Structure 1
Amino acid sequence: MADAKVKEALSLMAEAAKLETTSVFAMRFKPDWEGASALYDRAANLTNAARAYEHNINANTKLARAMLQIRSYFQAAKAFEAAANSARMLKDMKQASDLYKKSVELYRQNGTNDTAVQVLEKAAKYTEEVDPLQAAQMYLDAIDIQLAEGKKRQVSEAFRRAAALFLNANKTREAVKALQDHLAVLQEINQLEVAHKNILAIVVVFLKAEDYVAADKAAQDGLSVQRFAMSDEGKAAFDLLEAYDKGDAKGFEAVTKRQVFSFLDNEICKVARNLRVGGSTMGASSTSSQPAPAGRNELFARSTPAPVATPAAPVAPVASAAPIDSEPTEQDADADNEASSLFSPTTAIPTDVAPAAAVQSAPAAPQQEDSNDLL
């Protein structure tokens, strides 16, 4: 039965091909695109019923070409979409993607943008497993069409899917860009609760990239969104950053286990649960162009040297030391004996070398200068 349908379809396509050319004997002085499109349409239906997908792609592609000749863009778009569906059934996602794109372009050219968005989102869903990045781009294309139409309340799902796909592909920069663009739209339509979740998601993604500086900036920028500071998401974001900054692994893990993270999108939630406090906030995959320390407290601890134990008492003899070539007085001898008793309870330092010993105890000053340079 299927073979008979395919045979009939091939016969119809051959007849349609003749109508595309002129013929003096047939008194056809120009191509009959309308007659050809009718035959191609019948052939497409027959091959689809027979599940002869390769023949169906051929029939629908030729139908689309015939429809374009008579400027029936909507019907041409439908034919390309049908051909794409057949390519998808053959697991040829590259060909399917190309055909879907042609379909979308014609739907837009026809002014049926809603249908174009539906085709893009459907194509993206089918493409997610075989080509996540292309699927993410399809979602972004659908978003662009809807935003151009002013339909800002209908783009949230596409934004979430695009961000998740970029995240799975370890495209952190692209994931953050999708989240930030979504945040801007959410602020415009005053969806504050969803915006709070988006800010927390951005912080999580930056910490995944070990970019503490960018994560902290995202949280600080989030304060401009109404009620973020007092929201559960805001508190979680700043507690997360504080624990990360201090290197508090247990505290950090406790924050990530809060219920607020379970309300985020699945992919973001998984990333949050797997976050760990790293030794550095700047890795190879960092999204910030500026090197970032592991944390402000850790930086301060590294740059401040340990205090050097130096005797405080010998400083006094420097100011009151008598010239070496002068005759020591009785008061000078008493002062020298008192200073020497600070260095050793048993051995007295001669009075004529006490000032020199005091002068040699001064190398602590250059270390202080190095500390100031680090700070």
Structure 2
Amino acid sequence: MARAGKLEEAEKLLKKANKLWQPSILDMRLKPDWEGAAPLFEKAALAFKQSGELEKSRAAYERAAMSQDKIGSTWHAAKHLESASQISRDLGEWGSVADFARQAAGYFAQAGRPTAGADALARGAKQLEEASPSDAHALYKEALDMYEVDGKEGQAGDVFRQAVACLVRNGKYGDAAGLLMRFGEACDSVGARSSQCKAYLGAVVAWLYAQDAREAWQVFQDAMGVDAFSSSDEAFAADALFLSYADGNAEKVKALVQSKAAFRQLDAAVGRLAVKLPIGDLAPQAAAIKDLMGGGAGEEQEGSEDELM
């Protein structure tokens, strides 16, 4: 009975709001009354949602957003579109989740709040992680781009971590490594040294998990050009890991990862990769690393490990 009452209320509110969208000679209204319609559409949307009519609720939120846009309130328009995105999730319409999240982000940016827009994209991505990973990856990237445009990438640590975890879960290890390097650069902009060093070590781990020793070595060399990393525990751990790989002994690699606190302190998704190293045929990876290190790695292994413990 309560549901039926809410539905009746919603229909009445919607009818009244729709009338305000039209000029009316009888009401001496020569143009749409956007300002009067906006709150009515919002109330109708909420009542439809409470009565279980999700599609009607979403449509009402869209009209509320259009009304707010017409009166120049892009912030409120963005909030309504984000509500439409959330309802699309409940409807299982994953493409619409992404579409409405992008529209909301655009309105937040128009309102002079690009960081709020980036937050909206990140929330949309989070909703899509299981149902549509490719859309989630795309939204996370757009969110991080928007943070960067606003100069706030250094404050987006949680979104970087969520995006990396999503990539790892879907086997996108190279993409995860690239994003970790980007996260490291973002950390540098705000002096977040600990997170920066973990990100760079994580990139090494991700590439080794992908069985691409050459890319792992390259990101390590790039990271070593950063002062904050070059003298860190994470750098020493990465160096020891390469030496263990070059030795070609899987048990030594496993023991090294277990012995170094730096690996245990990685963010969970990347840390789970580290404890599974080495992956695949170790021999070609060992040969590649020996070649990259200039040979002779095996002879230096024992002394270097003693120094790095």
| TM-score, L = length of structure 1 | 0.70
Q: Structure 1, residues 133-156: CA drift from partner, whole Å, max 9, x if none?
A: 322333333333333333343122
2: CA distance, partners of 1:257 / 1:137: 34
User: CA 1:91–1:297 in 2, change beyond 3 Å: closer, same or farther?
Assistant: closer
Task: Give the deviation of 1:293 after TM superposition.
Answer: 3.7
1:269 pairs, out of 252, 268, 271, with 271
Give the letter aligned to residue 220 of structure 1.
Q
> Structure 1 residues 298, 238: CA separation in 2 closer, same or farther (over 3 Å shift)?
closer
Q: Give the equivalent residue in structure 2 for 1:171.
A: 172
> How far 1:73 sits from its partner (Å)?
1.3
Whichever residue aligns with residue 118 of structure 2, its letter is V
Question: 2:36 — aligned with what?
Answer: 35
Larger radius of gyration: 1
Partner residue in 1 for 2:159 = 158
Report which stretch shifted further, 216-225 or 169-178: 216-225
Residue 13 of structure 1 is matched in structure 2 by: 14
After superposition, what is the alpha-carbon deviation per residue over 1:219-274, rounded to whole angstroms, capped at 9, x for unaligned?
Answer: 23333233645433222211211221221222111112123211001111111111
Q: 1:240 to 1:83 in 2, by over 3 A?
A: same
SS of 1:280's equivalent in the other structure is: helix
Shift of 1:6: 0.9
Aligned AA (1:272): A
> Which AA in structure 2 matches 1:260?
A
Deviation per residue, 1:161-217 (Å, 9 max, x gap): 212211222223321221111112223333333322222111111111222222222
Amino acid aligned to 2:150: E
Question: Contact 1:192–1:225 (CA<8 Å) still a contact in 2?
Answer: no
Distance 1:300 1:200 in 2: 23
In 1, Cα distance between equivalents of 2:23 and 2:215: 67
AA of the residue aligned to 2:183: H
Which has the larger share of helix?
2
* Compared CA separation, residues 65 and 256, structure 1 to 2 (3 A): same
Distance change >3 Å, CA 71–CA 192, structure 1 → 2: closer
Q: Which moved more, 1:7-16 or 1:250-259?
A: 7-16
2: CA distance between counterparts of 1:207 and 1:247? 13
Q: Could you tell me which residue of structure 2 aligns to residue 143 of structure 1?
A: 144
- Cα distance in 2 for partners of 1:186, 1:28 equals 55
Equivalent position amino acid for 2:51 in 1? A
In structure 1, the residue matched to 2:299 is none
- Shift of residue 160 of structure 1? 1.7
Distance 1:113 1:204 in 2: 33
1:280 correspondence with 2:284: yes
Residue in structure 2 matched with residue 260 of structure 1 by the alignment: 262
Q: Is the 8 A contact 2:49 2:57 kept in 1?
A: yes
* 3-state SS in 2 of match to 1:179: helix
Cα distance in 2, alignment partners of residues 188 and 25 from structure 1: 61
- Give the 3 Å change call, closer, same or farther, for CA 214–87 of structure 1 in structure 2: closer
Could you say what the CA RMSD is over the residues aligned between the two structures, in angstroms? 2.7
The percentage of aligned residue pairs carrying the same residue is 28
Deviation at 1:84, TM superposition (A): 2.0
- With over 3 angstroms needed to count, the CA separation of the structure-2 counterparts of 1:41 and 1:138, relative to structure 1, is same
Partner of 2:93: 92
Structure 1 pair 10–297 and aligned structure 2 pair: CA distance change class (3 A): closer
**1:232-271 correspondence runs (5 A):** 232-258=233-259, 259-271=261-273
The alpha-carbon deviation at position 25 of structure 1 amounts to 4.7
- The residue number in structure 2 matching 1:4 is 5
CA distance in 2, matches of 1:131, 1:41: 29
- Aligned residue type for 2:55: E
Residues 17-76 of structure 1 deviation map (CA, whole Å, 9 limit, x = unaligned): 233233445543322323332432331232233343222112111111222222221221
Q: Which sections of structure 2, spanning at least 5 residues, go unmatched?
A: 297-309
CA contact (8 A) 1:136 1:161 kept: no
Corresponding residue for 2:57? 56
Structure 1 pair 252–31 and aligned structure 2 pair: CA distance change class (3 A): same
Looking at structure 2, the residues matched to 47 and 225 of structure 1 have their Cα atoms a distance apart, in angstroms, of 55
The gaps in structure 1 that reach 5 residues or longer are 283-291, 302-375
CA distance in structure 1 between the partners assigned to 2:44 and 2:223 by the alignment: 58
Q: Within 2, Cα distance between the matches of 1:137 and 1:248?
A: 39
Distance in 2 (CA, whole Å) between partners of 1:46 and 1:11 is: 10
**CA separation of 1:22 and 1:139: change in aligned 2, threshold 3 A:** same
Q: Helix, strand or coil: the match of 2:15? A: helix
Q: 1:297 to 1:218 in 2, by over 3 A?
A: closer
Does the C-alpha gap of structure 1 residues 300 and 96 become closer, same or farther in structure 2, counting only changes over 3 Å?
closer
Q: CA 1:115–1:217 in structure 2 vs 1: closer, same or farther (change >3 Å)?
A: closer
Of 291, 298, 307, which aligns to 1:296? 291
